[in-house]
C-alpha cells in the first residue's frame, strides 16, 4: 500500500505542476484578451454603466466608522504564533502516534526518541509557514538553514554510529522529501494559487488509474475467466488501456464535483486560502511521513493513526477568530491597488509582500489584469475558467457592477485575514468600475514604476485619485523610469487626497515598511503602525 501511495504522489506531482503552468498561461492569456474587448460582447449597444447611476451603485447605505481591529504587528504575531503552535502540535502528536503504532520495531517509546522524531515531523511546518505566509527570502533562508543545521547536528550527536546509510535514508525520506514536495507544489509563486487546488484532483485520478492497473494485474495472476473472455478481443495492450481509461473517466466526474463543491464553499467563506493551503500541505506531509511505516510493517489500518494529528488544524481555525476578533460597530479600512499593467515582476513582489500583509487589516480591491491573474485566482474562478465560464465574471452592465460591489466582504475569514476582491472589466467598463471602487476605498496604493505620459489609463486613475476627498492616503510608487511630472499633472495642482511619493528602488525589505506606514497612518498613531 505504501508503494502505491508513493507512486501516486510521484506521478501526480509533476503532472500537477505541468497542468498548473498550462492553466496559468492560458488564464493570463484569456484575461488579457477579455480586458481588451470593447464594447463588451454581452451588450454591444451599451457603453457600459451609466455614469449618473454610479453614486447609487458605489455608495449604497451609509458607511460605518472605519477602524482596524488591532495594529498590524500584533495581528501578524498572533497569526505566526498560532500557525507555529499548530505545527508543533501536529508534529508531536503525529510522531507519538507513529511510535505508538511501531513501538515494537523501535524498541519502545523513550523521551529522547520522541523528541527526535517530533522535531523531524515538525520540520515541514517551518517551511510551510514560510511558504503560506509568503515570507521574503531574506527571512526564509536564515530560519530554514538554522533549523536544518540544528536538526542534522542533533541527529548526528544522538546517533551511536554517526551518519550511516540508514540515517541518511531516514533524513531523506522524513525531511528532505517532504520539504522538496512542499517547495515544488507550494513554493513556485506563479503556480501556488493553482497547484494546491489541482493536486488533490490529479492525485485522485492517478490513484484510481494505478489501483485499476493493480486490480487488473491481480485478476491476471489469479487466472480470472473474465480475462480469458476479453483478452482475445482487445489484446493485452488494449485491455490495459481500456481499464485505465475507464478508471480515469469514472473518477473524473466525482473529482469535478469535488472541485465545484470546494469553489462554492470558498465563496461562502467556509474556508480560506490560508486554511486550505495549511490543511492540504500538512495532509500531504503526514502521508509522506507514513509511507515508510506502511511499507515496513503489518500494522494494517492502525498505521494510518498518525493522520489523526491533522485534526489540530480545524481546531486551530475554530480558535483563531476568537484571538483576532473584528471590530464591532465599524468596518475595516479598504485598500485599492492600482498599477501600470504588464509589469508582472515588480508588481508580483509588491502583491506578495505588501498587499498580502494588508489583508490582516482589511479587504483589498483591485481590477483584474494578466500581471496578477495567476496569483489572485480563487477556487471558484479556477473551476469557472476550466468550465469555460470565466467571461461570466466580467462586468458589462450596471446590475453586474452593483452586485459585485455589494459582495465586498467586511467580515474576515476564520484565519483573521480579509479577502482580495477582484473586479473583471472590459475596456469600456473599467472606468465606471474604478469610480465605484474608489468611492468604496479608504486608501490607495498605486504602482507607477515605468509610468509615462503614454499610459492614458493611469493618467485617468491619477486624476480620479486627486479628486477623491474621502481618501485617507494615497501612496504612489515611483522609480527612475517614472515620469513624475506627467503623474503630477494628472493628479492636479491641489489633490484632495494626501499623496506620498515613495521611491521603490531601495532594498525590498525597507520598501515593504516604507509603503505600509503611510497607508496605516490614517488609522494608527505613528508608534503603532509597524
pLDDT score of 233: 59
78 vs 48, 324, 388, CA distance in Å? 44, 8, 40
Structural domains of the chain, count: 2
In-domain check, residue 470:
yes
Distance CA(99)–CA(464), nearest Å, equals: 63
In-domain check, residue 127:
yes
pLDDT score of 44: 43
Q: Cell digits for 443?
A: 486608501
484 half-sphere exposure, CB direction, 13 A CA radius: 10
Torsion of CA 207, 212, 215, 221, to 10 degrees: -120
In-domain check, residue 371:
yes
By C-alpha distance, which of 21, 34, 38, 32 is closest to 371?
A: 32
Are the CB atoms for 499 and 476 separated by under 8 Å?
Answer: yes
pLDDT score of 529: 63
What domain range is 501 assigned to?
A: 332-528
- Integer distance in angstroms from the first to the last C-alpha of the chain? 50
Residues 352 and 390 in one domain: yes
Distance CA(321)–CA(417), nearest Å, equals: 10
Are the CB atoms for 527 and 488 separated by under 8 Å?
Answer: no
Burial class, 249, CB count within 10 angstroms (exposed 0-12 / middle 13-18 / buried 19+): exposed
Task: Tell me phi and psi for residue 338, to 5 degrees.
Answer: -125, 160
pLDDT score of 51: 42
Residues 237 and 97 in one domain: yes
Q: Is 338 left (phi over 0), alpha (psi -120 to 50) or beta?
A: beta
Q: Cell digits for 144?
A: 530554514
134 vs 312, 375, 437, CA distance in Å? 22, 12, 27
Residues 317 and 400 in one domain: no
In-domain check, residue 68:
no
Query: In sequence order, what are the beta bridge partners of 447?
Result: 339, 477
Distance CA(292)–CA(290), nearest Å, equals: 6
Residues 336 and 316 in one domain: no
Residues 130 and 102 in one domain: yes
Distance CA(64)–CA(367), nearest Å, equals: 24
Q: Is 430 left (phi over 0), alpha (psi -120 to 50) or beta?
A: alpha
Are the CB atoms for 113 and 339 separated by under 8 Å?
Answer: no
Query: In sequence order, what are the beta bridge partners of 114?
Result: none
Residues 252 and 353 in one domain: no
Distance CA(406)–CA(156), nearest Å, equals: 59
Domain boundary among 321, 344, 359: 321
SS (H, E, C) 435-504: HHHHHHCCEEEEECCCCCCCCHHHHHHHHHHHHCCCCCEEEEEECCCCCHHHHHHHHCCCCCCCEEEEEC
In CATH, what number is assigned to the domain containing residue 521? 3.40.50
pLDDT score of 186: 78
Residues 247 and 364 in one domain: no
Residues 305 and 358 in one domain: no
Domain boundary among 321, 341, 363: 321
Residues 103 and 158 in one domain: yes
Enter the DSSP assignment of 328: S
Please give the chain's pLDDT, 530 residues, in tens. 667 777 888 899 899 999 999 999 999 899 888 888 866 554 444 444 444 344 444 444 345 577 776 788 888 888 888 888 999 999 999 989 988 887 777 677 888 888 888 888 887 887 777 777 777 666 667 777 777 777 777 777 776 655 555 556 666 666 777 777 877 887 777 788 888 888 888 988 888 888 888 877 777 666 666 666 565 555 666 777 777 788 888 888 888 888 888 888 888 888 888 888 888 888 888 888 887 666 555 666 777 888 999 999 988 888 877 777 666 567 889 999 998 876 655 677 788 888 888 999 999 999 988 888 878 888 888 888 888 888 888 998 888 999 999 888 888 898 889 999 999 999 888 999 999 999 999 999 999 988 998 999 999 999 999 999 889 899 999 888 899 999 999 998 888 778 999 887 655 555 677 888 899 888 876 656 66
Domain boundary among 285, 302, 321: 321
Q: How many CB atoms lie within 10 A of CB 169?
A: 11
Distance CA(519)–CA(336), nearest Å, equals: 11
pLDDT score of 46: 45
pLDDT score of 378: 85
pTM for this one?
0.84
Task: Tell me phi and psi for residue 336, to 5 degrees.
Answer: -100, 125
Distance CA(358)–CA(334), nearest Å, equals: 9
Residues 279 and 356 in one domain: no
DSSP-derived secondary structure for 24-60: HHHHHHHHHHHHT-SS-TT-TT--SS-GGGHHHHHH-
Residues 282 and 193 in one domain: yes
Grid cell 544522538 in the structure block, residue: 158
pLDDT score of 489: 92
pLDDT score of 474: 93
By C-alpha distance, which of 468, 470, 464 is closest to 490?
A: 464
In-domain check, residue 499:
yes
Residues 303 and 348 in one domain: no
Amino acid at each position: 500500500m505504501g508503494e502505491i501511495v508513493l507512486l501516486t504522489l510521484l506521478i501526480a506531482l509533476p503532472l500537477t505542476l505541468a497542468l498548473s503552468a498550462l492553466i496559468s498561461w492560458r488564464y493570463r492569456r484569456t484575461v488579457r484578451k477579455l480586458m481588451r474587448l470593447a464594447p463588451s460582447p454581452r451588450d454591444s449597444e451599451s457603453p457600459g454603466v451609466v455614469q449618473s447611476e454610479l453614486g447609487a451603485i458605489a455608495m449604497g447605505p451609509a458607511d460605518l466608522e472605519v477602524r482596524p481591529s488591532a495594529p498590524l504587528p500584533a495581528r501578524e504575531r498572533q497569526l505566526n504564533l498560532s500557525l507555529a503552535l499548530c505545527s508543533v502540535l501536529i508534529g508531536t502528536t503525529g510522531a507519538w502516534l507513529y511510535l505508538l503504532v511501531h513501538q515494537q520495531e523501535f524498541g519502545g517509546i523513550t523521551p529522547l526518541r520522541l523528541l527526535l522524531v517530533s522535531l523531524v515531523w515538525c520540520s515541514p511546518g517551518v517551511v510551510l509557514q514560510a511558504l503560506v505566509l509568503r515570507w521574503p527570502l531574506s527571512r526564509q533562508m536564515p530560519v530554514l538553514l538554522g533549523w536544518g543545521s540544528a536538526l542534522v547536528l542533533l541527529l548526528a550527536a544522538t546517533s551511536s554510529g554517526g551518519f550511516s546509510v540508514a540515517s541518511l535514508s531516514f533524513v531523506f525520506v522524513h525531511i528532505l522529501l517532504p520539504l522538496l514536495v512542499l517547495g515544488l507544489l507550494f513554493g513556485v509563486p506563479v503556480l501556488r494559487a493553482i497547484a494546491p487546488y489541482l493536486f488533490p484532483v490529479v492525485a485522485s485520478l492517478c490513484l484510481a488509474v494505478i489501483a485499476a492497473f493493480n486490480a487488473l494485474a491481480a485478476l491476471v495472476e489469479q487466472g480470472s475467466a473474465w480475462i480469458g473472455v476479453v483478452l482475445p478481443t482487445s489484446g493485452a495492450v488494449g485491455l490495459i488501456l481500456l481499464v485505465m481509461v475507464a478508471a480515469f473517466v469514472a473518477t473524473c466526474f466525482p473529482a469535478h464535483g469535488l472541485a465545484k463543491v470546494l469553489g462554492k464553499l470558498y465563496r461562502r467563506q467556509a474556508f480560506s486560502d490560508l486554511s486550505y493551503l495549511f490543511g492540504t500541505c500538512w495532509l500531504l506531509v503526514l502521508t509522506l511521513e507514513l509511507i515508510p511505516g506502511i511499507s515496513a510493517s503489518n500494522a494494517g489500518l492502525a498505521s494510518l493513526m498518525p493522520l489523526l494529528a491533522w485534526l489540530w488544524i480545524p481546531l486551530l481555525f475554530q480558535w483563531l477568530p476568537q484571538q483576532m476578533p473584528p471590530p464591532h460597530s465599524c468596518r475595516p479600512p479598504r485598500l485599492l491597488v492600482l498599477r501600470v499593467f504588464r509589469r508582472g515582476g515588480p508588481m508580483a513582489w509588491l502583491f506578495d509582500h505588501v498587499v498580502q500583509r494588508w489583508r490582516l487589516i482589511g479587504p483589498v480591491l483591485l481590477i483584474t489584469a494578466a500581471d496578477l491573474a495567476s496569483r489572485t485566482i480563487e477556487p471558484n474562478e479556477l473551476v469557472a475558467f476550466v468550465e469555460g465560464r470565466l467571461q461570466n465574471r466580467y462586468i458589462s452592465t450596471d446590475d453586474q457592477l452593483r452586485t459585485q460591489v455589494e459582495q465586498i466582504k467586511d467580515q474576515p475569514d476564520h484565519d483573521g485575514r480579509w479577502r482580495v476582491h477582484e473586479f473583471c472589466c472590459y475596456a469600456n467598463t473599467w472606468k465606471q468600475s474604478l469610480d465605484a471602487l474608489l468611492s468604496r476605498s479608504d486608501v490607495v496604493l498605486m504602482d507607477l514604476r515605468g509610468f509615462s505620459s503614454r499610459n492614458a489609463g493611469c493618467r485617468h486613475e491619477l486624476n480620479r485619485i486627486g479628486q477623491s476627498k474621502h481618501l485617507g492616503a494615497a501612496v504612489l510608487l515611483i522609480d527612475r523610469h517614472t515620469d513624475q511630472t506627467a503623474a503630477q499633472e494628472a493628479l492636479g495642482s491641489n489633490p484632495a487626497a494626501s499623496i506620498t511619493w515613495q521611491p521603490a528602488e531601495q532594498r525590498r525589505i525597507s520598501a515593504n515598511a516604507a509603503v505600509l506606514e503611510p497607508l496605516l497612518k490614517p488609522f494608527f498613531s505613528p508608534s503603532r503602525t509597524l
